[in-house]
Amino acid sequence: MTIYNFSAGPAVLPKEVLQQAQAELPDWHGSGMSVMEMSHRGKEYMGIHAQAIADLRELMGIPANYKVLFLQGGAHLQFSMIPLNLLCGKDSADYVDTGEWSKKAIGEAKKFGGVNVVADNNDSKCTYVPAFADWKCDPSAAYLHYTPNETIGGVEFGWVPNTGDVPLVADMSSNILSRSYDVSKFGLIYAGAQKNIGPAGVTLVIVREDLLGQVAANTPTMLDYKIHADGDSMYNTPPTYGIYIAGLVFQWLRKNGGIAAMEQTNIAKAKLLYGAIDASNGFYHCPVSQADRSRMNVPFTLKDSALDADFLKQADARGLLQLKGHRSVGGMRASIYNAMPLAGVQALVDFMGEFARQRG
């Protein structure tokens, strides 16, 4: 039976990447060592590290005046590192509140300075993106933070806010590499690896150079971006094996047409799944407004939540795994990241159709 894993994260990785990692596990390229066993200062690992950064730069078209950092601590630590590094003595930063991950970032930023919530969608249980025209931005804000894809609520921005001279900061944990972005519009992009990049334990930060070096006094050394940038993410021991797997994922993306090709497949996958939900005569329901539906995380409910347990049991028996929704939303959530093939979404849609006919 083919297994399709719809986990929100840690999430599915490309089969080819896992197979390559398996083949190279005990002896990387005739070195006689596993990547796990290599010194991070040795020429073998340094090569892997540099190649991963070069491939990511190529994939995302990252301009030369941006640093690529591989850090630890997850997106959660970025919620603190961002205000510590980017407030730069200013009173406050702007935040957009579109769901649970925005709220976590806001809560943490409040420990370090003023937070001005410029827009929210709390009137709707976080099911849409607030129109830019209604945002109450502060032109003297240190930066503006938003969450382009809310992994839990399934709300995704189809556009990039234009904040002028105010640096734009984005938590792309769950949609990085899934669609094209013009990196030059951002001051800083960050993402935990475990959704679209690789294994948990690596945090990617892409930051414009001029934002470095103005860290708050008493900031721990490990939380200063400039320290990591100057040390090429090797100030301390980086998460070497996770970076190696991320590098294999970047090569897999490059071999398969890059982000543009991935975006087309992601559009097709999302269309297929939302189409099935909308055509189910109310048996399935997605609460997110049409224009702001995530291509990566698709939350949906069944018309009667008493059917949830049976839906999950039958899905499991078919090899359609980890469809249970987040505890705060309930129902189901299908995460359909880059590594989820169209065939996986088709298998889910086929099952959903049968289940609705059986129990509808």
Ligand X SMILES: *Cc1c(COP(=O)(O)O)cnc(C)c1O
- Smaller CB distance to ligand X: residue 192 or 299? 192
Q: How far is the CB of 334 from ligand X (least distance, A)?
A: 15
**And the tokens for 334?**
């299908």
Distance, in Å, from the CA atom of 309 to the CA atom of 306, rounded to the nearest integer, reads 7
How many residues comprise the chain? 360
Instruction: Tell me the C-alpha distance between 300 and 295, whole Å.
Output: 13
Tell me whether residue 28 or residue 157 sits nearer to ligand X (CB atom).
Answer: 157
Q: Which of 55, 97, 171, 224 is catalytic?
A: 171
Question: Between 38 and 170, whose beta carbon lies closer to ligand X?
Answer: 170
Residue 195 bears catalytic tag: yes
Residue 279: count of CB within 10 angstroms of its CB: 12
292 is catalytic: no
Nearest to ligand X of 333, 355 (CB atom)? 333
What is the enclosing helix (H) or strand (E) of 310? Answer: helix 308-317
The CA-atom distances, in angstroms, between 165 and each of 19, 28, 91, 182, 267 are: 45, 46, 16, 16, 32
Q: What is the smallest separation between the CB atom of 7 and ligand X, expressed in angstroms?
A: 11
Task: Give 144's Cβ-side CA count (13 Å radius).
Answer: 25
Helices (H), 26-99: 43-60, 74-86
Q: Rounded to 10 degrees, what is the CA torsion of 323, 199, 4, 23?
A: -160
Q: Which is closer to ligand X, CB of 200 or CB of 347?
A: 200
What backbone phi and psi angles, to 5 degrees, belong to 134? -95, 0
Smallest separation (angstroms) from ligand X to the CB of 71: 11
> In angstroms, rounded to a whole number, what is the distance separating the alpha carbons of residues 146 and 157?
10
Please answer whether residues 154 and 332 qualify as being in contact, where contact means their C-beta atoms are separated by less than 8 angstroms: no
Residue closest to 272 by CA, chosen among 178, 342, 179: 342
In the complex, least distance from residue 306 CB atom to ligand X, rounded to whole angstroms: 29
Q: Give me the residues that bind ligand X (CB under 6 A), please.
A: 9, 74-76, 101, 147, 151, 171, 173-174, 192, 195
Distance CA(214)–CA(273), nearest Å, equals: 45
Which residue in the list 55, 67, 94, 101 is annotated as catalytic? 101
Catalytic: 101?
yes
Q: Are 274 and 293 in contact (CB under 8 A)?
A: yes
Considering beta carbons, is residue 302 or 329 the nearer one to ligand X?
329
Q: Cα(289)–Cα(45) distance, rounded to whole angstroms? A: 46
- At its nearest, how many Å lie between ligand X and the CB of residue 28? 26
Return the residue nearest ligand X (CB atom): 74
Q: Which of 103, 195, 269, 324 is catalytic?
A: 195
Q: In the bound complex, what is the minimum distance in angstroms from residue 154's beta carbon to ligand X? A: 11
- Of 101 and 157, the one with the shorter C-beta distance to ligand X is 101
Give the closest residue to 322 by CA, choosing from 204, 195, 177, 197.
195
The distance of closest approach from Cβ of residue 8 to ligand X in the complex, given in angstroms and rounded to an integer, is 7
Positions marked active-site: 101, 171, 195
